[in-house]
Structures are given as structure tokens and as C-alpha cells.
């Protein structure tokens, strides 16, 4: 695959107003993607755009709009809406393209652009490369005639539509009456829709992180800072806590005692329930190389399989589509329920957990540990340039570590797709060994990166 100049593992992302997250790049994305997704027929072509609550959204959105309208595409603006909502509405409105402006769980100072095709799925690597190629062409070509410029309209009921779609995924025979739920929206894209959906399904809702001001997205709240959710759960004696990230495509859950339940345990919980009801397709679950070995063992005991992909929910989704799975996700809480959504959706995943909770009549703490996790150690090493993983000394340390883990664990070492980090993960039955190996590899990487 060619080297990508703009797109990472999840769209284009970076510090706002610094390359590549500038108004100029956004303009070029609009023009290039617009040209690529406009067919030759003379109908009006449509792109829909949603965003989270970052200050820089006010800069990126109009630049994209200018790009799309200049090549003759009509634009519909949703305002703040979760990433999965934008994916759903792309299909629902029969748009040619969907765009989400968000840097997900990153700080407010970053932003990003994610693109969805007319089917609501994230674009393939090939499509992203085709957009990149056009972005660097002369942009004075293929501009629309003055009479063919695109029109722009704001869609006021997009949030209400998403709430209705979300509620429809909850089993009809159930409601949430009698349940007290903490929802932390990370001051992000779901700050209106998530609490509203839970309330309309009958829950008593305690809202956290629902006052965005452009700067406070993911700040000491949301799925990357679960302490805010945990504190509220204990304070209000809630049955469950749900924390979403900035664009609401992932979640972290905590039980009534404030103990965090990670994405692997949630996948195990939903897989077990769906298998029991005979609605789990594909014979198992798709997850990434980062998912715990304990999840794999849990599924094996139920005659289910775990298929692994590289990191990134788009790769999970691609494998799910290829092989007919309807449940997949990442340990970090990106859960994809493909019967309902084309991408990770924190609210829909939370609703499935709540359905199991309601059916079981047990507290969340009794359901939270579906399997015993294998000790896992993760360390991130920041580097400023070069390719430390290609260093011979690093390669040797990694090869030694792999040998020492043979048969009793796994090693995953990879560069982050969104930040200048090397992520080092080891897991195995011997916790001491796992910690030791990560320490050795991190030391070698730091030395090589110095």
C-alpha cells in the first residue's frame, strides 16, 4: 500500500490550525472527495456533515463546505452529532458522502476529518488514497459553473432522528424504568442525544459532561477519564455508569460499585447473551490484536471463535462484513453491532448492556467479569522522528521477548496511527515476566529513539 500523506488509521487528524488540520487542507478534502464521489449523471449530489463540540469545528466546517459546494455538491449540516449518527444519516438521507469533524478522544486542541461512503461505512484505504491524489492536483480544474454551485442547508431534526434510531435497537419487551444511570458525554457530540435516549426509554438519568464550551471536550471526563463517571455512580448510588468519548463511537462502563468494565468484558457479555438467544452471527466475535487472551479463551469454551485484525475499528468492520459477523470491537470500547450500525456506537453498545442487565435481574457487578483477564501490560513510548522499530537492537530485544512468551502469551508492538508513539503490549499468564518484557522493549525503543 502506498504511503499516505494525510490519512491515518482513522481519517485525517492533527493539531487544529497546524498542517494537516488546516482550513486549506479541509478545503482540498472537500474539493477532492466531492469530485471523487460525484457520478457523471446530472442529478444533484449530496454530502452530509456532522461535528463534535471543539472550537476548531467552526473553522473546519466552513472550509469543507466551501470545497464541496465549489465542485457542485449540495451540503446538509447536522451540527453536533455522534460519529455513528453521521454514518446512519448518510445512508438514511441517500447522501453520496458523509463527513464527521472530530478528533474522538483527543484534547480540544486536536481535530480530525472522517469520511463515510454512501453505504455509511468508513472509506477504504484505496478510496482515501484516491482522495489524496486529487488533493495534490491543481484545484482550479473541474470547478462547478456559477449556476451549478452547491447549496447548503442546516438539518434541525438530525438529533431527534438519531435518538429514535437508537431507541429502536433496545428490545421492545423491555424498558429502563426503575434504573438509575449515570451518563458522561465527555462534553462532546452526544451531550444532547445520549441522555435524552436513556430518559425516553424510562431511566432516571444523571448527566455528566453535558456542558460543552469548545474547550472542555474529553477534559477530566468521558471514556478516557472514567473517574468522573465512577464518582457520580457512587454519589448517586446508580445501577450503572456509561462514559462516552468526544464523538461517542466508544464507551467505558462501570458497575454500581464504580468498578470499570472494559470493552473486552462488554463484548463477552453481549456475545454470551446473543449466542444464547441464537442471534450471534459468524460463529464468534471480531476484535483486534489488543484484545485480551482471556476473551479468546472465554469464547472458545462456548464453541465460539475470536478473529483478530490490526488495530482500528474500520479493520474490525471490514472483517465483520467479509465473514458475516454481527459483533466486533476493540478493548478500548469501540463496539460494532452491525445489525444496527456501520461503525462503533457507544450508546447502542450501552443499550445492549442495559438489556442484558434488565433481563438478568442481577447487579452489574455480577455480570462485569465474564472472564478472568490474562495479565496485560501496555506502555507507550513517544519518539520525535525516525523508525525506532527498524533498529537492529530493538529487533533483537523483541525477538528474545517473543521466544520467552511462546505458548503462554502474546506480544504486540506497533506505531500509533494518530500520534508519534510506539505502543508496546505484552500479555501472558506470568505477570512478572510480562512486566519485565515490556520494560526491556520500552528501554530499547527509548534508546533507539534518543
Pairing of strands 376-382, 421-428: antiparallel
- Beta strands (DSSP E) in 33-176 are 45-51, 73-80, 97-101, 110-116, 152-154
Count other C-beta atoms under 10 Å from residue 173's C-beta.
8
Which of 239, 273, 250, 243 is closest to 364 using CA atoms? 239
Q: How far apart are CA 256 and CA 397, in angstroms?
A: 43
CA gyration radius for the chain? 22
Q: How far apart are CA 229 and CA 222, in angstroms?
A: 8
Catalytic residue among 104, 158, 332, 341: 104
Angle 123-128-129 from CA coordinates, rounded to 5°: 150
Q: What is the largest CA-CA distance in the chain?
A: 69
The reply to whether 104 belongs to the active site is yes
All cell numbers assigned to 350: 450501552
| Residue 289 Cα distances to 7, 43, 267, 331, 413, angstroms | 21, 44, 15, 9, 10
Given a contact cutoff of 8 angstroms between Cβ atoms, the answer to whether 76 and 129 are in contact is no
Q: Which residue has the cell 465512577?
A: 230
Q: How far is CA 361 from the centre of its chain?
A: 30
Q: How far apart are CA 104 and CA 417, in angstroms?
A: 13
Question: Where on the phi/psi map is residue 68: left (φ > 0), alpha (ψ -120 to 50), or beta?
Answer: alpha
Please tell me what DSSP assigns to residue 110.
E
DSSP labels, 241-305: EEEE-TTSS-EEEE-TTS-EE-HHHHHHHHHHHHHHTT---TTEEEEETTS-HHHHHHHHTTT-E
- Phi, psi of 79, rounded to the nearest 5 degrees: 75, -160
Given a contact cutoff of 8 angstroms between Cβ atoms, the answer to whether 51 and 84 are in contact is no
Q: How far apart are CA 269 and CA 41, in angstroms?
A: 48
Angle between helices 158-168 and 193-200 (to 10 degrees): 50
Which of 251, 220, 387, 253 is closest to 313 using CA atoms? 251
List the catalytic residues.
104
Amino acid at each position: 500500500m502506498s504511503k499516505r500523506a494525510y490519512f491515518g488509521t482513522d481519517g485525517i487528524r492533527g493539531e487544529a490550525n497546524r498542517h494537516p488540520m488546516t482550513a486549506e487542507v479541509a478545503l482540498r478534502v472537500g474539493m477532492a472527495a466531492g469530485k471523487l464521489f460525484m457520478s457523471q449523471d446530472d442529478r444533484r449530489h449530496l454530502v452530509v456533515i456532522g461535528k463534535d463540540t471543539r472550537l476548531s469545528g467552526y473553522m473546519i466546517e466552513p472550509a469543507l463546505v466551501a470545497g464541496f459546494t465549489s465542485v457542485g455538491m449540495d451540503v446538509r449540516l447536522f451540527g453536533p452529532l455522534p460519529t455513528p449518527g453521521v454514518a446512519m444519516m448518510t445512508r438514511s438521507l441517500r447522501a453520496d458522502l458523509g463527513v464527521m469533524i472530530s478528533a474522538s478522544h483527543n484534547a480540544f486542541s486536536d481535530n480530525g476529518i472522517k469520511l463515510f461512503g454512501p453505504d455509511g461505512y468508513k472509506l477504504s484505504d484505496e478510496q482515501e488514497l484516491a482522495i489524496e491524489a486529487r488533493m495534490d492536483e491543481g484545484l482550479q480544474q473541474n470547478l462547478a459553473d456559477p449556476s451549478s454551485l452547491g447549496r447548503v442547508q442546516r438539518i434541525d431534526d438530525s438529533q431527534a432522528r438519531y435518538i429514535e434510531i437508537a431507541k429502536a435497537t433496545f428490545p421492545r419487551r423491555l424498558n429502563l424504568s426503575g434504573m438509575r444511570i449515570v451518563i458522561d458525554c465527555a462534553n462532546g457530540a452526544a451531550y444532547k442525544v445520549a441522555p435524552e435516549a436513556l430518559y425516553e426509554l424510562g431511566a432516571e438519568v444523571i448527566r455528566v459532561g453535558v456542558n460543552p464550551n469548545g474547550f472542555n471536550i474529553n477534559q477530566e471526563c468521558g471514556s478516557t477519564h472514567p473517574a468522573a463517571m465512577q464518582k457520580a455512580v457512587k454519589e448517586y448510588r446508580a445501577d450503572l455508569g456509561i462514559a462516552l468519548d468526544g464523538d461517542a463511537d466508544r464507551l467505558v462502563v462501570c458497575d454500581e460499585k464504580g468498578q470499570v468494565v472494559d470493552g473486552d468484558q462488554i463484548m463477552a457479555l453481549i456475545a454470551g447473551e446473543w449466542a444464547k438467544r441464537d442471534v450471534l452471527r459468524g460463529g464468534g466475535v471480531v476484535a483486534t490484536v489488543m484484545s485480551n487472551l482471556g476473551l479468546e479463551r472465554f469464547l472458545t469454551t462456548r464453541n465460539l471463535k475470536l478473529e483478530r485484525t490490526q488495530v482500528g475499528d474500520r479493520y474490525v468492520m471490514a472483517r465483520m462484513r467479509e465473514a458475516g459477523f454481527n459483533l466486533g470491537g476493540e478493548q478500548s470500547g469501540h463496539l460494532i453491532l452491525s445489525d444496527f450500525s456501520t461503525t462503533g456506537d457507544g450508546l447502542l453498545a450501552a443499550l445492549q448492556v442495559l438489556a442484558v442487565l434488565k433481563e438478568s435481574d442481577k447487579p452489574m457487578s455480577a455480570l462485569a467479569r465474564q472472564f478472568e483477564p490474562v495479565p496485560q501490560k501496555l506502555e507507550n513510548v513517544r519518539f520525535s522522528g525516525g523508525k525506532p522499530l527498524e533498529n537492529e537492537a530493538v529487533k533483537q530485544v523483541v525477538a528474545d521477548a517473543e521466544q520467552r512468551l511462546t505458548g503462554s502469551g502474546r506480544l504486540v508492538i506497533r506505531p500509533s496511527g494518530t500520534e508519534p508513539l510506539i505502543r508496546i503490549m505484552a500479555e501472558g499468564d506470568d505477570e512478572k515476566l510480562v512486566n519485565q518484557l515490556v520494560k526491556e522493549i520500552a528501554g530499547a525503543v527509548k534508546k533507539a529513539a534518543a
